[in-house]
Amino acid sequence: MSAAPGRPYRRAPLAPFAAAVTGVGLVTAAGTGADAAWHGVTEGLAPSVGPRPELDGLPCDFFYSVTDCDPGAILGVAAQRLMDRFAQLAVVAAREAVADAGLDPAVWDSGRVGIVIGSAHGGLPFYDEQHAVLTDRGPRRVSPKLAPLSVVNGAASSVSLDLGVHGPSLAVSTACSSGTVAIGTAHQMLRSGACDIVIAGGAESTCTRLLIASACSLKAVSTRREDPTSACRPFDTHRDGFVVGEGAGLIVLEHPDHARARGAAVRAHVSGYGASSDAHSAVAPDPEGLGIERALRTALADAGLSPADVGHVNAHGTSTLSNDLIETAMLHRVLGESPLVTSTKAMTGHTLGAAGGIEAAFAVLALQRQLVPPTVNLDAPDPRIPIEVVAKEARATSFDCAVKTSLGFGGHNAALVLTRA
pLDDT digits (tens, 9 = 90+) for 383-394: 999 999 999 999
Verify whether residue 187 is a known catalytic residue: no
Which pLDDT belongs to residue 46?
80
> Which band of pLDDT confidence, cut at 50, 70 and 90, is reported for residue 283?
confident
Phi, psi of 264 (to 5 degrees): -70, 145
User: pLDDT tens digits, residue range 331-369?
Assistant: 999 999 889 999 999 999 999 999 999 999 999 999 999
Judge whether residue 287 has pLDDT over 60: yes
pLDDT of residue 64 exceeding 90, the answer is: yes
pLDDT at residue number 179: 98
pLDDT at 412: 97
Of residues 121, 255, 312, 316, which has the active-site annotation? 316
Q: What percent of the chain has pLDDT over 70?
A: 97
For the CA atoms of 258, 117, 185, 297, what is the dihedral angle to 10 degrees?
A: 120
Q: Are 381 and 236 in contact (CB under 8 A)?
A: yes
Kindly state the DSSP code that residue 167 receives in the 8-state scheme. S
Predicted pLDDT at 387? 95
- For residue 110, count other CB atoms closer than 10 A to its CB: 15
Task: Determine the average pLDDT of the residues in 23-48.
Answer: 95
- Is residue 332 annotated as a catalytic residue, yes or no? no
Predicted TM-score (pTM) of the model is: 0.96
pLDDT of residue 5: 52
Element (H, E) at 273: strand 268-277
pLDDT band at 7 (very low <50, low <70, confident <90, very high): low
Q: Give per-residue pLDDT as tens, 237-275.
A: 999 999 999 999 999 999 999 999 999 999 999 999 999
Report the pLDDT value the prediction gives residue 3, as an integer from 0 to 100: 47
pLDDT tens-digit map of 211-227: 999 999 999 999 999 99
How many angstroms separate the CA atoms of 313 and 267, rounded? Answer: 17
pLDDT band at 1 (very low <50, low <70, confident <90, very high): very low
Distance of CA 387 to the CA centre of its chain: 22
Spatial separation of the C-alpha atoms in residues 116 and 156, rounded to whole Å: 6
Catalytic residue among 176, 207, 216, 232: 176
**pLDDT of amino acid 9:** 63
Give the model's confidence band at 2: pLDDT under 50 very low, under 70 low, under 90 confident, else very high.
Answer: very low
What is the arithmetic mean of pLDDT over 116-130? 94
Name the nearest CA neighbour of 354 among 17, 137, 92, 102: 92
Share above pLDDT 90 across residues of the chain, in percent, rounded to a whole number: 91
Model pLDDT for residues 399-409, shown as the tens digit of each residue: 999 999 999 99
The pLDDT of residue 31 = 96
> Please, are residues 114 and 169 in contact by the beta-carbon 8 Å criterion?
yes
Provide the pLDDT confidence category of residue 8 given band limits of 50, 70 and 90.
low
CA dihedral 229, 234, 237, 241 (to 10 degrees): 70
Q: Give the gyration radius of the chain's Cα atoms.
A: 20
Confidence of residue 117 (pLDDT cuts 50, 70, 90): very high
Strand partners, 197: 113, 254
**pLDDT tens figures, 179-220:** 999 999 999 999 999 999 999 999 999 999 999 999 999 999
CA neighbor of 415 nearest in space, from 347, 351, 359: 359
User: CA-to-CA distance for 199 and 94, rounded, in angstroms?
Assistant: 7
* Spatial contact of 357 and 179, defined as CB atoms under 8 Å apart: yes
Residue 13 pLDDT > 80, yes or no?
no
Q: Is 139 exposed, middle or buried (0-12, 13-18, 19+ CB in 10 A)?
A: exposed
| pLDDT higher than 80, residue 11 | no
Assign residue 336 a region (left: φ > 0; alpha: ψ between -120 and 50; beta: otherwise): left
Average pLDDT, stretch 307-330? 97
Q: How confident is the model at residue 10 (pLDDT cuts 50, 70, 90)?
A: low
Report how far Cα 175 is from the mean position of its chain's Cα atoms: 10
